[in-house]
Amino acid sequence: MPYNVATIVFLIAIVFTMVAQAKVNSNFRRYSGIRNERGISGAEAARRVLDANGLRDVEIQQIAGNLTDHYDPRSRVLRLSQSVYGVDSIAAVSVACHEAGHAIQHAENYMPLRLRNGIVPVVNFASRFSWILIIIGIAMMAAGNYIGNTLFDIGVIFFVAVIVFHAVTLPVEFNASHRAMQQMESAGIIAEDEERGARKVLWAAAMTYVASLAVAIANLLRILAMRGRD
Identify the active-site residue in 99, 192, 194, 195: 99
Nearest to 214 by CA among 65, 46, 81, 16: 16
CA-to-CA distance for 162 and 41, rounded, in angstroms?
Answer: 35
Q: Is 59 a catalytic residue?
A: no
CB 162 within 8 A of CB 217: no
Q: What does each of the 230 residues of the chain score in pLDDT, given as a tens digit? A: 666 776 778 788 888 888 888 888 888 889 999 999 999 999 999 999 999 999 999 999 999 988 899 999 999 999 999 999 999 999 999 999 999 999 999 999 999 999 999 999 999 999 999 999 999 998 898 888 889 899 999 999 999 999 999 999 999 999 999 999 999 999 999 999 999 999 999 998 888 899 899 999 988 888 888 776 55
Distance between CA atoms of residues 94 and 85, nearest Å: 11
